[in-house]
Amino acid sequence: MPTLFLHFFLFLFTNLIPAVHSNCIEAEKQSLLRFKKSLEFNSSKSTKLITWNSSTDRCSWLGVTCSTNGCVVGLDLSREFVSSSIDNSSSLFQLQHIQSLNLAYNNFYGSSIPSAIGKLANLRLKVLDVSDNDISEDGGLKFEKPQTPIEVACLKRVKVIDLSDNDISEDGEEPNLGTLIQNPTEITELNLDGLDLSAEESDWYQTISSSLRELRVFIWTLVLILVCLRALILCFVQK
């Protein structure tokens, strides 16, 4: 009987597991292709998205990083000249293994970062970079209510967040940085360089997680000593 059970287990391991893995690979590929189709981007300037096609392995696509077992763990769409928004129904949020998401240096002017991004953080997302998405003085990247800039409060497991050089607002209102800083309980690096924090409540810093080890801010917004930090980068501003 033990021998029969062992043979049955080996049969499942050698036949069922590869089939499930194969289905996962195809599902990820289709999710990425649908995500690409939903984006508006300049194909003449794109260097990554233009390599995404159904005839090649998604792990060979530029901007896509896969783990040793073939799961998509990283997306880098920085400088891809994307000019459309990403909504909560995006197939991006069907990717179950994403650890790093880089959307920096695109054109999300007047767009919102969807609250569904919290789904990724509840799974494995560790690094989120949405820096440099502000292209004018009267617009920029926004975060959907009820989420404050990443009151995408589900970002509790994220370790690195880069919001630098954005005109961050919450549907036209100032964001709640206290919530932003407090929620990611495992955060180690937070980049707020280029954000105007002068209108923030004076006690926003009191919610900083004890895990935070690096903070980047404008020097004229800093009026306190952050004793928990190992690195404090102060950016001087000329007016």
- Supply the pLDDT for residue 210: 64
What number of CA atoms fall less than 13 Å from residue 111's CA on the CB side? 20
Residue-level pLDDT at 31: 96
Report residue 216: phi and psi, to 5°.
-115, 125
- Complete domains list, the chain, with CATH: 9-235 (3.80.10.10)
pLDDT at 237 exceeding the cut of 60: no
Bridge-based pairing state of the strands 214-218 and 100-102: unpaired
DSSP state of 234: E
* pLDDT at 152 > cutoff 70: no
Q: Per residue in 31-42, pLDDT tens?
A: 999 999 999 999
- Global pTM value: 0.74
> What's the pLDDT tens digit per position in 219-233?
544 444 344 455 555
234 phi and psi angles, rounded to 5 deg: -105, 125
**Spatial distance between the Cα atoms of 129 and 3, rounded to a whole number of angstroms:** 52
Res 139 pLDDT > 50: no
Closest alpha carbon to 159 in 184, 193, 191, 122: 184
In terms of Cα–Cα distance, which of 114, 203, 221, 116 is closest to 164? Answer: 221
Cα 222 from Cα 237, distance rounded (Å): 12
pLDDT in tens, 153-174: 456 678 888 878 776 655 445 5
- Whether 139 and 166 have beta carbons less than 8 Å apart is answered as no
**223: number of CA atoms within 13 Å, CB side?**
9
Output 7 or 191, whichever has higher pLDDT. Answer: 191
**Can you read off the two tokens belonging to residue 80?**
């891809």
Cα-Cα-Cα-Cα dihedral of 91, 93, 94, 97, to 10°? 130
Q: Which two tokens stand for residue 113?
A: 């970062």
Query: What six digits make up the tokens of 179?
Result: 């919530």
Across 49-57, average pLDDT: 95
